[in-house]
Structure 1
Amino acid sequence: MKKKALITIPISLLLIAVMITSFFLINIKPAEGKIAKAQKLAEFTKPAVVRIVDYTVVSWQFNNPDDPEVIAILEQLNNQSVVGGSGSGAIISSDGYIVTNAHVVEATQKKDEDIANEAFEQLVSIVADYFKVDYETAYNYMVAYTQYTDIQRVLKVVLPGGDVLDGEVKSYGAPINEGKDVAVLKIEGKNLPTIPLGNSDDIQNQDNIWVSGYPAAADSDLLSPDSSLVSSMTSGQISATSKKTEQGSPVIQINAAATHGNSGGPVINDKGKLIGLLTFRGDTVNGQEVQGFNFAVPVNTVREFVNQAGVRNTKSETDKLFQEGLELYWGGYYKHALEKFEAVQRIYPNHSEIKQYIANAEKKVDSSKMLWSDYATTFYIFDGVAGLLVLVLLVFTFVGGKSKSSATVVAPPAAGPAPTPPAAPENTLQDLNNDGKIDVQDILLALEEHRKNQQKKDEE
């Protein structure tokens, strides 16, 4: 057995070592690419940042047919006034829930009377400017002959991929000068990209943050139409964490650049989590905006309205596949990144970034790095065969090497003559008292006689 063990045990140990090595090779993680954290955050969050357009359309009827000039002005306006604006927001659930500011969707949440009054003031200003008269004169004239006939509310959400969807307000706070400036919207969709919610209790002064959204200053006639679908990201730090509005609502002060249109956009920390929504900027100085003094609603305030709407903030399968694909792409594993990107396209075809990344990965696929996990099936087969071989070797060494002992057969003794049965013992008792039978008296007499004989022998 010892000679066999000298051969089989080293072979078994070698096979076991190879099996262990294959296990570790299969589970080696891809090397990370040298990508700046800010770039990663931008790519991870960009697909979930949306533009929100909220406005009302008020239709007018002018009742003075003798004033062709005012009639002409109204015809140029199609007898309508449009009141509202746009802002930003962030998708927080794969089925289409979005967080933004209440003031971003304020136009469609007002009462008809308030909407009509605001639209009328806008119309009066146009008439006053045209005729070069003061506002009060134009107002008194127009109010005598004008009435609204219809109010149409429009709330649209523009996704980064170009889809324009109807939005519905599910939870609403109040504009910043009235309360908590938060609203939760809902659009139709599935497998949408999302941004995870953080915890604003964990933030500290000078934490690095990034603000994402659609600032109006970035919209220019010199840019292509599809440029309006691309969000902007600026960086900065938290300047103060314990400030409040006049109504007592907490706000976070940040120094990242922002302007009109950024309202409702997500403020992201260095872990890629939403810690606030940009809500307003500091006062102007000499009529000019001063950057570096902007404020955000903390995410824990946002959570109040998210919970009120019954929303679960969960990472979608689209997020998981896209982020895995990006990490592989940045690490040089283009073939494997391409597989992830194509999976994203299958479950969410209108992803804003996926077509470009697929095209880039296809161009670089020939120079893709290798992953040991590609050979997992081969490793599993080899490990199975190796494990079986180790078992056979051990059985051969410790079981098969023992010689089988021959059983000793004991021969039966030779047959001989049958033994003579012992003779029946003679009856030594006699009828000593001559009563014709042997009984207890005879036994007692015999014992007494035996005692006397023994005593006699002892005396001799």
Structure 2
Amino acid sequence: MLPQTNKLQVLLLSSALLTTLVPITPANSQVPRVQQLQINSTQSQKMSAGNLLAENTKSSVVRVVIGCKAKVYLPKNGKIYDLDKMLGHGSGFFVNSNGYIVTNAHVTNITTEQCKQYLATELGVKLEGDGEDLDAVEQQLKWIEAKPTYLVNLPNGESLPFQILKSGATFDEGKDVSIIKVNVRNAPVLKLADSSKVQLLDKVTAVGYPGLVETSTAFDEKSLLEATFTSGEVSAIKTLKDNVPVIQITAPAAPGNSGGPVLNEQGEVIGIVTFGFSNNHVFLFTSNTVQEFLTSLGITNEEGLIDQKYREGLQLYNQGKYTQALRVFQLVKRLFPYHSEVDKFIQQSEQVIAANYR
């Protein structure tokens, strides 16, 4: 979610309801067919630096979904009404391989009373079906249970519940950062940059899940889990009234992008999308502010074995060394079965290898 500054009361609902070297072969020796293929196919398969950055990033960026559920009892007719509604989503990314995720506080913060308000329409429809009017029976209603629901959608389609470990406040009231956790291991991690070193006109890339895809019927369900990458530059470095630094960028972002990472040219996170005056005037809470939250929880921002191996696999694949790349990708798959991109590279590597053993 990317709130407009004049719509703070609907921050949540503003959403559309993240080298191995081989020996040099002497010229007069016989080159095995597979190895020869690897050399000849390098040019056609080669990915650019931007492609590699995207492939290294995609599996780390997640969709953070907030909803509400409740049971409401109406003594007048003796019925219990089950309510369940998805309210909106933001973006986030793995900051530690043990399932720790960074997003915005305004993405995750919701109270029980807010849940009741958001569920009122659904309740009204159900009551009307029983011949009752919500306004007429409102005082009689017994809310047996009303609570937020929290889910993280991984890019491979898996949905996992999360818990909030530490959350700040909306940007006009505090530090708009939230640290949440899902139960996984070996998750692919994005490294935090030192945001104090960010300079004007640095090239940046924003990654996240803009809600406009959800509101259109033109896209299939898989597209909801495809992160969007937009590019731009650092246009300003400013400070909020409470002396909290923010970074302004020109990379477009939309409702649903909130909490998503913004990367420098090295693929490190300089900040998270938080608010904006328009989709093209976007402000970030800095990576150093995020680091404050992590430090207070004793969470380290370190890459794991899967990050090293996946990067190694991409390098081998990009060099046309498909047999070696396949072994590395298979290891990545074993380490983190939820990885959204590795199956693609396993399949493509196997196809190239098989085609040259016929």
Query: TM-score scaled to structure 2, two decimals?
Result: 0.78
Q: Contact between 1:215 and 1:259, CA under 8 Å: does it hold in 2?
A: yes
Aligned to 1:264: 259
3-state SS in 1 of match to 2:109:
helix
Aligned to 2:344: 356
Q: Contact between 1:157 and 1:166, CA under 8 Å: does it hold in 2?
A: yes
1:223 pairs with 2:211: no
1:205 pairs with 2:200: yes
3-state SS in 2 of match to 1:223:
coil
1:101 pairs with 2:101: no
1:336 pairs with 2:324: yes
Going from structure 1 to structure 2, the CA distance change for 1:157 and 1:24 (only over 3 Å counts) comes to same
3-state SS in 1 of match to 2:275:
strand
Aligned to 1:156: 151
1:206 Cα deviation from its structure 2 partner: 1.1
Distance (whole Å) between structure 2 residues aligned to residue 345 and residue 49 of structure 1:
17
Q: Which amino acid aligns with 1:356?
A: K
Q: Which has the higher helix share?
A: 1
1:160 Cα deviation from its structure 2 partner: 1.3
Distance (whole Å) between structure 2 residues aligned to residue 349 and residue 166 of structure 1:
17
Map 1:395-434; keep pairs closer than 5 Å: none
Q: Which moved more, 1:149-158 or 1:304-313?
A: 149-158
1:51 pairs with 2:63: yes
Given candidates 168, 174, 180, the residue that maps to 2:169 is 174
Q: Contact between 1:171 and 1:306, CA under 8 Å: does it hold in 2?
A: no
Distance (whole Å) between structure 2 residues aligned to residue 125 and residue 162 of structure 1:
27
Distance (whole Å) between structure 2 residues aligned to residue 152 and residue 127 of structure 1:
18
Q: Which structure is richer in relative contact order (CA contacts within 8 A, separation 6 or more)?
A: 2
Distance (whole Å) between structure 2 residues aligned to residue 216 and residue 49 of structure 1:
15
1:336 Cα deviation from its structure 2 partner: 1.7
Given candidates 17, 38, 42, the residue that maps to 2:50 is 38
Identity, % of aligned positions? 32
Distance (whole Å) between structure 1 residues aligned to residue 301 and residue 84 of structure 2:
38
Aligned to 2:89: 86
Q: Contact between 1:89 and 1:265, CA under 8 Å: does it hold in 2?
A: yes
Distance (whole Å) between structure 2 residues aligned to residue 51 and residue 45 of structure 1:
14
Q: Contact between 1:243 and 1:253, CA under 8 Å: does it hold in 2?
A: no
Distance (whole Å) between structure 2 residues aligned to residue 23 and residue 231 of structure 1:
35
Structure 2: 5+ residue stretches without partners: 1-20, 26-37
Q: Which amino acid aligns with 1:242?
A: K
3-state SS in 1 of match to 2:51:
helix
Task: For residues 397-447 of structure 1, give each alpha carbon's deviation from its aligned partner in whole angstroms, at most 9, with x where no partner exists.
Answer: xxxxxxxxxxxxxxxxxxxxxxxxxxxxxxxxxxxxxxxxxxxxxxxxxxx
1:51 Cα deviation from its structure 2 partner: 0.8
Query: TM-score scaled to structure 1, two decimals?
Result: 0.62
Going from structure 1 to structure 2, the CA distance change for 1:207 and 1:213 (only over 3 Å counts) comes to same
Q: Contact between 1:181 and 1:297, CA under 8 Å: does it hold in 2?
A: yes
Aligned to 1:424: none
1:314 pairs with 2:302: yes
Distance (whole Å) between structure 2 residues aligned to residue 346 and residue 63 of structure 1:
53
Q: Which amino acid aligns with 1:42?
A: A
1:180 Cα deviation from its structure 2 partner: 0.2
Distance (whole Å) between structure 1 residues aligned to residue 280 and residue 109 of structure 2:
26
Q: Which has the higher strand share?
A: 2
Aligned to 2:9: none
Distance (whole Å) between structure 2 residues aligned to residue 46 and residue 79 of structure 1:
36
1:274 pairs with 2:286: no
